[in-house]
């Protein structure tokens, strides 16, 4: 079964408030088995617009990725993020087919 992913691009506008969001989201991520593949670090936009922070989070499947986002635990964390950043977040199903080459 293909994994599920959150792909997030963020501009943090209030670093102290964003730290509170990061602390609060840990509860939801632990409950739903989130695994960070990308969490900040150097990045560059090669096409389109970019944001200052990029995050990719892996879940065991697409349904779990959606359930985490819709959970009461994450809803509480999101309240802290609302005034601390501007973000684009998509939930995507991983590809489980043949690879080129």
Give 28's contacts (C-beta < 8 A, 6+ positions apart): 34, 68, 71, 73, 74, 77
Sequence ranges of the domains in the chain: 4-93
pTM here is 0.93
Q: Which CATH architecture has domain 4-93?
A: 2-Layer Sandwich (3.30)
Contact call for residues 28 and 71 (beta carbons, < 8 A) = yes
- Which pLDDT score, from 0 to 100, does residue 62 have? 98
- Show pLDDT as tens, one digit a residue, over the chain (101 residues): 899 999 999 999 999 999 999 999 999 999 999 999 999 899 999 999 999 999 999 999 999 999 999 999 999 999 999 899 999 999 999 998 999 98
- Which pLDDT score, from 0 to 100, does residue 58 have? 98
- Which pLDDT score, from 0 to 100, does residue 13 have? 96
């Amino acid at each position: 079964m293909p994994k599920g992913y959150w792909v997030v691009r963020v501009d943090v506008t209030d670093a102290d408030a964003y730290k509170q969001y990061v602390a609060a989201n840990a509860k939801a991520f632990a409950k739903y088995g989130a695994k960070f593949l990308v969490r900040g670090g150097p990045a560059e936009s090669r096409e389109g617009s970019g944001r200052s922070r990029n995050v990719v989070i892996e879940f065991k499947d697409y349904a779990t990725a959606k359930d985490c986002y819709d959970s009461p635990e994450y809803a509480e964390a999101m309240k802290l993020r609302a005034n601390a950043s501007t973000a684009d977040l998509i939930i995507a199903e991983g590809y489980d087919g043949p690879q080129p080459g």
